[in-house]
């Protein structure tokens, strides 16, 4: 199964294009106000720009106006896209329950579009039927390009710890909902400052940025505001600027060259260290959504009283999030030398299994207690004496549980020099392990997670403050 935005990124890298050709069959541009004329108009644009466009965006309204004949014409146009070029149905749907399911079936099964624009204002349950298939993408209306968008989208939310708008809240929520890597945002090129803030709130998401050209949006300013540091992450839809040119192919080529010239300029200014965000937004948000992070007053295994509790055992019930967590370990593991993954019971066992399935690396695990029957083994899984095992765990606090497991592993003849966890709670484990000659590697630290959640307004200020005060008194 291919994930929608992974496919889009692959095509963007192969073609060097971020241009989305809008298939807006305005009646004024047609030979006659008929479904057949609308069909012919759009098919000509596809034929002229197929080697330039990253995607196409037909507007449903210009076909629905012709009734059943228009609907048939729209289906033909979507089917005419060359293989690998997604059709984004610009329909701006938004409803719940069986109605949303019917809209999703119409877009993805009847019309066979690869993506659709949606209104998110009915909440997450209005999106579920559209995002359940990772091969299908959605673009959520966030900060639209029309002048009246500010009537609602610019409203400052009450009770915020510092001013932020409704559209920024939508962007932050979308990052958390993007567990299948098939959610993007719509943010107009006509509002460059808002586009910049949307990018800040959703660092990884793809943004469909309408408004360049006829609506007055500036291409250079928009790219500066919305591109990710890797030069991707934006689709620039252009409709009239291509369709109304006597030579649509030449017009599309000019837009492409202008986009890529600005991408090159920005790449030259971007420090290499900024290529990846510190905290993967979908991962940080997914942990909250899955209930892996809780706030209150908790007693940890070490006896420490904590205002935050991290329970990654929940990952077993969220396979997409579990897969994403496993992927987050891979960059750290690639830098290490080892023969086996050693998962610590119990929370790390699903994580290490997912890593093993993704990499093909063998796994073993030390039992919490030796079997009282059969082989009476302390360690399950095959290994050879003298091999190196990298310890995989979910998180670390003081490091106590790591030492118990490491002792079993080394007693069996394995070498252990590294421990890799998802979250370091920064309560002294790194220092304790270092004294024993073992290095701790963490995908995330509690500080970075809290900084991210504060920046995206995902947790109340009093919870942020409580965790920060807790960290200040910890040994780490």
- pLDDT tier at 416, thresholds 50, 70, 90: very high
Taking only the tens place, the pLDDT of each residue in 425-444 is 988 888 889 888 999 999 99
Q: What is residue 274's predicted lDDT score, i.e. its pLDDT? A: 39
Q: Is the model's pLDDT at 402 over the cut of 60?
A: yes
Annotated catalytic, 92? yes
Question: How many C-beta atoms surround the C-beta of residue 188 within 10 A?
Answer: 27
Which of these is catalytic: 14, 48, 57, 92?
A: 92
Q: Is the model's pLDDT at 161 over the cut of 50?
A: no
Q: Is the model's pLDDT at 372 over the cut of 60?
A: no
Full-model pTM = 0.62
Contact 352, 341 (CB under 8 A): yes
Give the closest residue to 210 by CA, choosing from 233, 231, 239: 239
The CA distance from 439 to 296, in Å, is 31
Q: What is residue 438's predicted lDDT score, i.e. its pLDDT? A: 93
User: Average pLDDT for residues 58-83, to the nearest whole number?
Assistant: 95
Q: Is the model's pLDDT at 276 over the cut of 60?
A: no
- pLDDT tier at 275, thresholds 50, 70, 90: very low
Q: Is the model's pLDDT at 251 over the cut of 70?
A: yes
Give me the domains of the chain, ranges plus CATH numbers: 4-271 (3.20.20.70), 281-472 (3.40.50.2020)
Burial pattern 40-70, b for ≥16 Cβ within 10 A else e, equals bbbeebbebbbebbbbbbbbbebbeebeeeb
The CA distance from 256 to 54, in Å, is 10
Share of the chain above pLDDT 70, in %: 94
């Amino acid at each position: 199964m291919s994930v929608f935005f992974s496919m889009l990124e692959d095509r963007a890298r192969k073609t060097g294009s971020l241009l989305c050709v809008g298939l807006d069959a305005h009646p004024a541009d047609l030979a006659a106000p008929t479904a057949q004329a609308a069909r012919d108009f759009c098919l000509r644009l596809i034929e002229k720009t197929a080697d330039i466009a990253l995607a196409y965006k037909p507007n449903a309204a210009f076909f629905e106006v012709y009734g059943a004949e228009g609907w048939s014409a729209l289906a033909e146009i979507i089917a005419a896209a060359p293989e690998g070029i997604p059709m984004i149905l610009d329909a701006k749907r938004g409803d719940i329950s069986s109605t949303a399911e019917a809209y999703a079936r119409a877009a993805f099964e009847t019309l066979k579009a690869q993506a659709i624009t949606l209104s998110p204002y009915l909440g997450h349950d209005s999106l579920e039927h559209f995002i359940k298939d990772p091969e299908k993408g959605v673009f959520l209306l966030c900060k639209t390009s029309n002048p009246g968008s500010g009537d609602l989208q610019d409203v400052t939310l009450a009770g915020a710890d510092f001013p932020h708008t409704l559209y920024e809240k939508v962007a932050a929520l979308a990052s958390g909902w993007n567990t299948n890597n098939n959610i993007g945002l719509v943010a107009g090129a006509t509002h460059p400052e808002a586009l910049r803030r949307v990018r800040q709130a959703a660092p990884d998401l793809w943004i469909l940025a309408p408004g360049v050209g006829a609506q007055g949006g500036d291409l250079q300013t928009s790219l500066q505001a919305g591109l990710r540091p890797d030069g991707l992450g934006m689709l620039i839809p252009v409709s009239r600027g291509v369709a109304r040119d006597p030579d649509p192919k030449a017009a599309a080529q000019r837009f492409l060259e202008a986009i890529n010239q600005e991408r090159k300029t920005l790449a030259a200014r971007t420090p290499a260290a900024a290529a990846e965000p510190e905290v993967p937004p979908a991962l940080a948000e997914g942990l909250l959504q899955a209930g892996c992070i809780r706030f209150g007053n908790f007693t940890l295994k070490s006896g420490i009283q904590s205002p935050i509790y991290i329970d990654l055992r929940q990952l077993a019930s969220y396979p997409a999030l579990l897969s994403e967590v496993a992927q987050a370990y891979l960059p750290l593991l690639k830098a290490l030398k080892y023969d086996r993954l050693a998962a610590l019971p119990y929370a790390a066992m699903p994580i290490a299994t997912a890593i093993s399935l993704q990499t093909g690396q063998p796994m073993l695990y030390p039992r919490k207690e030796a079997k009282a029957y059969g082989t009476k083994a302390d360690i399950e899984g095959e290994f050879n004496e003298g091999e190196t095992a990298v310890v995989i765990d979910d998180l670390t606090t003081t490091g106590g549980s790591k030492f118990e497991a490491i002792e079993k592993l080394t007693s069996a003849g394995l070498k252990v020099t590294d421990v890799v966890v998802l979250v370091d709670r920064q309560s002294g484990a790194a220092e304790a392990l270092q004294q024993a000659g073992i290095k701790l590697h963490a995908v995330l630290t509690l500080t970075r997670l809290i900084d991210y959640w504060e920046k995206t307004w995902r947790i109340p200020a009093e919870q942020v403050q409580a965790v920060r005060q807790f960290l200040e008194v910890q040994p780490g």
